[in-house]
Chain A
Amino acid sequence: MTQRGVEGAHQGAHEHPAYQRHHFESVEQQFDATNFAMWLFLLTEVMFFGGLFTAYLILRNWYYPAFVEGSHQLNIGWGTANTAVLITSSFTLAMGVWCAQTRRKSGLVTFLILTFVLGMVFLGIKGIEYHEKWVKHHVPGFHYSEASFLNPASDPEIYKEYHDKALAPDMAAKTELYFFLYFAMTGMHALHMIVGISILVFMIFRAQAGAYTSGHVTFVENFGLYWHFVDIIWIFLFPLLYLISRHQ
């Protein structure tokens, strides 16, 4: 921009912070507009995950015994631990937003790092669970095995807890569909976590440079909306995948 252009833009204008874009009347208007845009993005995410949730509900209704026995394969301990980890990470990020708003630089950096660490712990636990599925041939594809469902006693660890009955071969085949949805839903959720963690790394460096503690909190606030949204997706995945089929 030329010197004249800068002056022109400021002619007769009130003083404003450097982070206010010139097409906005005020900082508040700028904040509200970006906040609104972030919410619109989140609504598209609701529609995206909504499709996966709907598919899960329909197919669970159709192939109920297969989905029940499939979900018996999930470990409630790991699922509960991951829920606690993710909720705590939402809390630490909310505290980060507070630090940004009240201009506490070192506090912000600390809470962003804590959120990053908790995000990594979540993915680590998810990795342990995925590995279990891999070892038992419960990942859909060429190596998928229906042995745990055709002959539940062959899977003693699960059998002693649930005493599942053997499924007919056509129903046992549908357990692959359960695991397909399990990997699709938790996988898309994990992908969102990976994106969030990547942005967190960027933010930790920017926060150390003092980027968010000079009054311009929009980025931290809107990233918070994204992170909390991903948390909400898990809040629904956890009961649907892990909890609701325990007694059937």
Chain B
Amino acid sequence: MTDMDEHNVKSAAHNERGMHIVSPKVYAAVGLALLALTATTVAASYVEMYVFNVVVALGIAVIKMMLVVLFFMHVKYSPKLTKLTAAAGLFMFLVLVGMTLADYFTRAWGRW
């Protein structure tokens, strides 16, 4: 990336090397959203929802993870290589855990 002049640096929220700078406002908004979601998931745990207690708790955890990954870890503003790497990690995690659980939960072993 070519060098930008002083004016561009400020207006485009990039530093002189062309790296994207996430503004404190975005960090504050994400931080507050994460705290609000924490309060939500704790409140939801006090409500009787049967199997949906697990679904809601893990769903909120996934939303929180996405907020952290996209904004705090800058994946939203990162090169495609970083996006692909993060996505590949999530995909492999789901494949390994999903296949293992599918195996364990469809057998009678472990029941005594």
Contact = CB atoms under 8 A, between A and B. Distances in A.
B68 A231 contact: yes
B68 A50 contact: no
Interface in A191-248: 215, 217, 221, 224-225, 228-229, 231-232, 235-236, 238-240, 242-244, 246-247
Given A53-B97, A232-B65, A42 B54 contact: no
Interface string A69-86: 000000010001001100
A101 B23 CA distance: 11
A112 B1 CA distance: 30
A238 B24 CA distance: 27
A54 B97 contact: yes
Given A39-B86, A170-B112, A246-B46, A224 B72 contact: yes
A128 interface: no
Interface string A90-126: 1101110010011000000000000000000000000
A129 interface: no
Interface string A34-51: 011001101100110010
Contacts of B73: 224-225, 228-229
Interface string B24-51: 1001101100110010011001101110
A98 B30 CA distance: 14
Nearest to B57: A239
Contacts of A61: 104-105
A229 to B, nearest CB: 8
Interface residues of A, number: 53
A188 interface: no
Contact of A43 (B53, B92, B105): B92
Contacts of A46: 89-90, 92-93
Label chain A's interface by main secondary structure.
helix
Given A62-B111, A80-B42, A27 B24 contact: no
Given A42-B89, A101-B15, A50 B97 contact: yes
A27 B17 contact: yes
A58 interface: yes
A244 B88 contact: no
A43 B38 contact: no
Interface string B53-77: 1100110110011001101111000
B15 A102 contact: yes
B73 to A, nearest CB: 5
Contacts of B92: 43, 46-47
Given A28-B1, A102-B21, A39 B85 contact: yes
A155 interface: no
A243 B82 contact: no
A87 interface: yes
Interface in A5-55: 27-28, 31-32, 35-36, 39-40, 42-43, 46-47, 50, 53-54
Given A47-B93, A90-B31, A243 B45 contact: yes
A57 interface: yes
A88 interface: yes
Interface of B: 1, 15-19, 21-24, 27-28, 30-31, 34-35, 38, 41-42, 45-46, 48-50, 53-54, 57-58, 60-61, 64-65, 68-69, 71-74, 78-79, 81-82, 85-86, 88-90, 92-93, 96-97, 100-101, 104-105, 110-112
